[in-house]
């Protein structure tokens, strides 16, 4: 098969790595890719949010299967255009992807499906939103309704922070994403991620993970896109996961089908877990980043078979074969991230590191300049390892980090601390 993966981050490098393990893959193109992906696949310059351009590229390159990595092309309807053109694609329609692209839409679906989630209000007016905050007090959560690159959520521990967040959002700090706002009850508990493949009818769980959002050790400092993750997540026990499937996931999938917009792709559910029960924090319409890295490390070659079954409506025949293992990924970010960070610093030592089924460096914000790997993004590398225990995987990952020579970068030293 000729396969095209859209995206340029660590998530897409992990997807590319897993796909390349499968003998069904004859040719792999990634667009636009990064320096790490260029070592295992062809990289192509392509506007991945332009559905017509993606269809034309797929036809010119005889692409059999397209895997869409990030959320933006999904929200722009790229999967719809590919399906209309008869190209097999992994990723939901624009209407189904509203489960991520619109917080208020997700709340409506949860209400209709009876899925447990936080109490909320939906606002298009700043004064009404502020009145709701004053009525309910803090802590409280303020969310930009639309896509804000993972940055449109303010967990306000005091009322003034929440009111300031309203001013920021309606003032344009998050662009069009903040034109509408959802304000939610603050939920206590431990967060974990559950990943489910859906083909419109069948929902198949493919793994759990837990990430680390804060930039500093001990979960301190600013929120980020994620500084590391591990899988499986012990807090999401088999019993809790089974109940969440019955009460949250399956009713959501049924409600989407009932609306005439069946969900087809990966459904990434963020749960808050307390007293043995999961409540939905949010849905994402794509794999998490960095959670995808640990999932792909554990799934390997079968990931392609599962995604194909999902795209072709055959999930009822599919089965996930899990090894009794653990995986961890540690993000190395450019100094200054998540604020202003330096670009162009050179990373040395990567050539001396093992790359196999237990040790991988997944690139995110990298490019190759004059034969040197240079940092071009905020989150730059994902140091990923597998082991029979989480401790073994963790030790392996940090041993790799010790061999990387990059004064321009940093990482958390405590990834996996909750489970360990």
pTM of the model: 0.94
Secondary structure, 3-state, the chain: CEEEEEECCHHHHHHHHHHHCCCCCCEEEEEECCCCHHHCCEECCCCCCCHHHHHHHHHHCCCCEEEECCHHHHHCCHHHHHHHCCCEEECCCCCCCHHHHCHHHHHHHHHHHCCCECCEEEECCHHHHHHHHHHHCCCEEEEECCCCCCCCEEEECCHHHHHHHHHHHHCCCCHHHHCCEEEEECCCCEEEEEEEEEECCCEEEEEEEEECCEEECCCEEEECCCCEEEECCCCCCHHHHHHHHHHHHHHHHHHHHHCCCCCEEEEEEEEEEECCEEEEEEEECCCCCCHHHHHHHHHCCHHHHHHHHHHCCCHHHCCCCCCCCEEEEEEEEECCCCCCCCCCCEEECHHHCCCCCCEEEEECCEEEECCEEEECCCEEEEEEEEECCHHHHHHHHHHHHHCCECCCEECCCCCCCCCC
Per-residue pLDDT of the chain (420 residues; tens, 9 = 90+): 999 999 999 999 999 999 999 999 999 999 999 999 999 999 999 999 999 999 999 999 999 999 999 999 999 999 999 999 999 999 999 999 999 989 999 999 999 999 999 999 999 999 999 999 999 999 999 999 888 776 788 899 999 999 999 999 999 888 887 889 999 999 999 999 999 999 999 999 999 999 999 999 999 998 899 999 999 999 999 999 999 999 999 999 999 999 999 999 999 999 999 999 999 999 999 999 999 999 999 999 999 999 999 999 999 999 999 889 999 999 999 999 999 999 999 999 999 998 999 999 999 999 999 999 999 999 999 999 999 999 999 999 999 999 999 999 999 999 999 888
């Amino acid at each position: 098969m000729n396969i095209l993966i859209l995206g340029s981050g660590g998530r897409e490098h992990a997807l590319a790595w897993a796909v390349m393990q499968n003998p069904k893959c004859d040719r792999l193109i990634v667009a636009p890719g990064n320096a790490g992906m260029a070592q295992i696949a062809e990289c192509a310059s392509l506007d991945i949010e332009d559905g017509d351009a993606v269809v034309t590229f797929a036809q010119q390159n005889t692409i059999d299967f397209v895997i869409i990595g990030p959320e933006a092309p999904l929200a722009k309807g790229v999967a719809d255009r590919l399906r209309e053109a008869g190209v097999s694609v992994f990723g939901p329609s624009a209407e189904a992807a509203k489960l991520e692209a619109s917080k208020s839409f997700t709340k409506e679906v949860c209400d209709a499906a009876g899925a447990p989630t936080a109490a909320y209000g939906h606002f298009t007016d700043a004064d009404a939103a502020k009145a709701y905050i004053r009525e309910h007090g803090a802590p409280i959560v303020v969310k930009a309704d639309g896509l804000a690159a993972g940055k449109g959520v303010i967990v306000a521990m005091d009322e003034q922070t929440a009111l300031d967040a309203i001013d920021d959002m309606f003032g344009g700090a998050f662009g069009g994403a903040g034109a509408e706002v959802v304000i939610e009850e603050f939920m206590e508990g431990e967060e974990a991620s559950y990943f489910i493949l859906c083909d419109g009818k069948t929902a198949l769980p493919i793994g759990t993970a837990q990430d680390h959002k804060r930039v500093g050790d001990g979960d301190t400092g600013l929120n980020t896109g994620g500084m590391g993750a591990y899988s499986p997540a012990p807090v999401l026990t088999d019993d809790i996961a089974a109940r969440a499937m019955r009460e949250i996931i399956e009713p959501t999938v049924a409600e989407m089908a009932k609306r005439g917009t069946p969900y087809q792709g990966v459904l990434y559910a963020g749960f808050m877990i307390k007293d043995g029960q999961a409540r939905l924090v949010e849905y994402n319409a794509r794999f998490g980043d960095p959670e995808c890295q640990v999932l792909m490390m554990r799934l390997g070659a079968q990931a392609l078979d599962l995604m194909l079954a999902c795209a072709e409506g055959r999930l009822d025949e599919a089965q996930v074969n899990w090894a009794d293992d653990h995986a961890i990924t540690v993000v190395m970010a450019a100094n200054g991230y998540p604020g202003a960070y330096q670009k162009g610093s050179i990373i040395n030592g990567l050539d001396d590191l093992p790359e196999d089924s237990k040790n991988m460096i997944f690139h995110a914000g990298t490019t190759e300049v004059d034969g040197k790997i240079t940092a071009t993004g905020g989150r730059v590398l994902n140091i990923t390892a597998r082991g029979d225990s989480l401790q073994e995987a963790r030790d392996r990952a940090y041993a790799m980090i010790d061999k990387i020579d990059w004064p321009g970068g940093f990482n958390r030293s405590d990834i996996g601390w909750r489970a360990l």
